[in-house]
Amino acid sequence: MSFLSGEDTTVAYVQGDKTLAMHHCPTCGCTTHWSPRDQGNRMAINARLMEPGAIAGLRIRHFDGAETFGFLD
């Protein structure tokens, strides 16, 4: 993940085991993304904050994070 702008405008919260940094907007509190603290290959972006047209062509894959930890498609 790379930022086009605003990389230093979010506030990070690091949970107890210190593996992820959850970033949120300091004004409204919306979570913008999370990233690993160990430079791993996982990350997430809150697409609900994006304009619908910006993500209209993206493939959505549903993930089972409760049991199989695999994609459901």
What are the boundaries of each domain within the chain? 10-47
Q: Amino acid letter at 44? A: A
Which pTM was predicted? 0.69
The two structure tokens encoding residue 42 = 């996982």
Are the CB atoms for 34 and 22 separated by under 8 Å?
A: yes
pLDDT in tens, 41-69: 788 889 899 999 988 998 888 889 899 98
Q: What is the pLDDT of residues 13-52, one digit of tens each?
A: 998 888 889 999 999 999 999 988 887 778 888 989 999 9
Residue type, 60: I
**Alpha carbon distance 21, 43 (integer Å):** 10
- DSSP-derived 3-state class of residue 22: strand
Residue indicated by tokens 């498609």: 73
